[in-house]
Copies of this chain bind each other. A is one copy, B any other.
Amino acid sequence: MTAVEQSGRSNLPEAFLAEVRRIVGQLNLKEGDAVGNLDYGVTADNLGALAVALPSSTEEVADLVKCANRHRVSVVPHGGRTGLVGGGVSSPEEIVISTARLNRTLEIFPTERVAIVAAGVTLQTLQEAARQHGLEPGIDLASRGSATIGGMVSTNAGGVAAFRYGVMRHRVLGIEAVMPDGSTYSDLTRVIKNAAGYDLKHLFIGAEGTLGIVTRAVIKLEPVPLATATAMFALPGLGAVLDATDLGIRIQRGNLRAAEAMWRSFFQLTSVEQGWTASDYDNSSPLHLLMSLAGANEPDLLEAFEGIYETLAVKYPDVSAVVATSQSQEEELWRLREDTDLIYRKHPAAPSYDVSVPLSEIEGYVTRIASGLEKIDANLAPYIFGHIADGNLHIVLNAAAADCARETVEAVESVLYRGLHRLGGSFSAEHGVGRKRIGALSDLTDPVKLSLMKVIKAELDSLRILNPNKVIQ
């Protein structure tokens, strides 16, 4: 369903829309059919507002938000629309502010290894610009071509390198954001050491546009490695996967760059579909670990992989492994991990989850949820894969959404989220809260923290202008 089929026009007052046109220019307020021509991203509901303003400067964003305040119109900020939890969903009573045209600033400072980036710049564009100076943003994710820096800041994006370089929150040195009242918070700090008062940029990072619209950010960069190498290990159990990850983290002639685990059912799905095999590699192992190393030269890294393999083989004699010897082999290995669409083709819109579990608790957690799901429905089982060095597991059910009754979904959530907070984990590792996880946030958050969240939202946005009914009610 596209936005246009939902309804022709927004329900916004014409006086408001006229002011919006004056601020951004006639062509940059998309209405009616013009909205239907936009890419709605992950869900057509993103464009439910049927009115999308495309400001080209921080000032225009501020003017739009002030205007929205005057007219009591709620604003839904949009980046690349790649969010998975409905943070960008909008209704005909709201207006979308897209950051797509906030893409003029992209300044690399190679000496200090930072970039000042406008919110609408995509991760890939930043990566390409940084690479010209031998630098990279220290964060990477599959949707790099669409995900914008503003969206990544607003959702505190994660990705494959968090165990080493942190999540987006740790990459951001400075921020400019338009507040719910239309004032502009301007702190484009370019240094990592700043102990000058409360660090309030963290209110905007990960707030999914409910406390401010991020317009620019200063991002810390890291040197691009001279060489990388990739290998995959077939392992008998999670203990072996964690041992391998730990060996990777402790290599000293280089660094661990990625450690992605795949449990058997997921690996069999992608490897069978892709017809992937390798000599002496046991496709039927319970777990598969894809590791990338980075360092000075390939021989160092291959030696490190050999060392890891030999150490593992002593403890786990049935380990098998494959090392990529060409870029196409490396891509093949990554495709086994990244082709998650296969699940959804088999089980349309299968319910999916994204949890963080402290590493020493994963074994028990996975056993517990498998048996919990089985109790709900004997046929229910999880596909599990994820960023193992962070304990970030993606869990997708082997069932189409249409086949899952509401009670089933609720029971599944209860199984997957139970005890996570007590363990020091998270019911949302990197996908955020949006609209879909509001109930979980309310049920599973420390009550003092939850009440403080509400106080801050009410204090900063008493008129509920910015992305209402997302993250918290």
Contact = CB atoms under 8 A, between A and B. Distances in A.
Report whether over half of chain A's contact residues are helix, strand or loop; otherwise say mixed.
Answer: loop
Contact of A187 (B190, B360, B449): B449
Nearest to A437: B196
A192 B448 contact: no
A431 B193 CA distance: 10
A416 B317 CA distance: 63
Nearest to A211: B198
Given A223-B250, A391-B191, A433 B197 contact: yes
Kindly state the interface size class of chain A when it binds its partner. 35 or more
B205 A199 contact: yes
A357 interface: yes
Contact of A391 (B112, B356, B426): B112
A111 B242 CA distance: 8
A158 interface: yes
A455 interface: yes
A58 interface: no
A184 interface: yes
Contact of A198 (B207, B296, B437): B207
A426 B191 contact: yes
Nearest to A222: B249
A453 B460 CA distance: 12
Contact of A169 (B156, B199, B211, B223): B199
Interface in A308-363: 356-360
A295 B199 CA distance: 33
A156 B112 contact: no
A59 to B, nearest CB: 14
A295 B252 contact: yes
A197 B445 contact: yes
Interface in A269-309: 294-297, 300
Contacts of A358: 109, 111-112, 114, 190-191
Contacts of A112: 358-360, 391
B295 A109 contact: no
B198 A203 contact: yes
Contacts of A155: 195
Contacts of A360: 109, 111-112
Given A112-B360, A185-B448, A391-B191, A197 B471 contact: yes
Given A197-B449, A223-B249, 17 more contacts: A111-B246, A158-B195, A169-B199, A170-B170, A174-B424, A188-B424, A189-B424, A190-B423, A193-B390, A196-B427, A196-B440, A197-B472, A198-B206, A199-B202, A223-B252, A225-B252, A452-B460
**Which 6 pairs between the two chains have the least Cβ-Cβ distance?**
A190-B424, A202-B202, A252-B296, A191-B356, A193-B429, A194-B426
